[in-house]
Amino acid sequence: MRSEKEIMSLILTVAISNERIRMVLLNGSRANPNAAKDIFQDYDIIYIVRDIKAFKADHSWIDIFGKRLILQMPDDMVMFDGNDDKNKNETFAYLMLFEDGSRIDLTLYPIEKITTQFNPGSLCVLLLDKDNLFPDFPLPADKDYLIKKPGEKEFSDCCNEFWWVSTYIAKGLWRGDITYAKDILENPVRKMFMKMIEWHIGAATMFTISFGKSGKNMRDNIDQALWNKILTTYPDAEPGNIWNSLFIMTDIFRELAVEIADNFQFKYNSVEDKNIVEYLKKVMDLAKQKNT
């Protein structure tokens, strides 16, 4: 694998030698002074360019970065929402995984939008500025990524969504629709579950840390018992294990939600909680009767 020095030198050399590339920025984890370093960190690069259409007209210019195992150009794909003509003219990304294991996520951004629409975020390092457009570029900081304190409406909405969508899992399990039940568990229900854990960590740390993508900083900021319990909420496709994981999730969610409500003087809807848990148990019993 090429070293960080080699990759960064190549990224800058390409930019310096191409007159249409006017600025280079590094963002993501490599711009975060608090992020742990490892060999799988991507190089998240932004090239601020003139005439973005010329770059997109012939993609072979990226071959200079090395021999690739795979390339993805998400802005040129029809699989993803939002890839309309307007968005395609704004930015263009090349996601490149190379034979040596290095990965560069390179985004082109049109220079004409730099003063009106560009927001690189707080975790960004200015590497090159040919036109001196940003003489006082701020030092990178993770302030944009810290856990935010919830408002009471956001908190109550999270609770309502968690309990409401939990009923879909029960319905799916009764019907024997395992893929449906798993999908609901791992998407809308899990999303609210993780949000409550995020707020729990935020409250415990005075909202001074980041939860991390998919909660990757979670383990270092909760006690081992809670961590072990959270891991048991990831079941296989066995219906009994899905039921068990769901009820463990409801127990954890309730415990943390009550704690957060107490901390911030929010109202927790315990009636909604009680009603849905009783409903889930009834449907589970019906599912067991159906399958005997």
Please spell the DSSP secondary structure of 150-174, one letter per residue: PPHHHHHHHHHHHHHHHHHHHHHHH
Give the β-pairing of 124-129 and 21-27.
antiparallel
* pLDDT values of the chain reduced to their tens digit, one per residue, 292 residues: 899 999 999 999 999 999 999 999 999 888 887 777 888 899 999 999 999 999 999 999 999 999 999 999 999 998 776 555 444 558 999 999 999 999 999 999 999 888 777 777 777 899 999 999 888 887 877 777 899 999 999 999 999 999 999 999 999 999 999 999 999 999 999 999 999 999 999 999 999 998 988 898 999 999 999 999 999 999 999 999 999 999 999 999 999 999 999 999 999 999 999 999 999 999 999 998 987 7
pTM: 0.84
Cα–Cα distance, 242 to 135 (Å, whole number): 55
Domain boundaries, the chain: 4-143, 146-290
Domain 4-143 fold: Beta Polymerase; domain 2 (3.30.460)
CB 170 within 8 A of CB 283: yes
- Least Cα distance to 272 among 287, 247, 254, 284 occurs for 254
pLDDT value of position 86: 46
pLDDT value of position 83: 53
pLDDT value of position 12: 97
Give 63's DSSP letter.
Answer: G
pLDDT value of position 115: 72
Per CATH, domain 146-290 is 1.20.120.330: yes
Torsion of CA 14, 19, 23, 28, to 10 degrees: -30
| Backbone phi, psi, residue 107, to 5° | -115, 130
93: enclosing H helix or E strand = strand 92-98
Cα–Cα distance, 174 to 266 (Å, whole number): 35
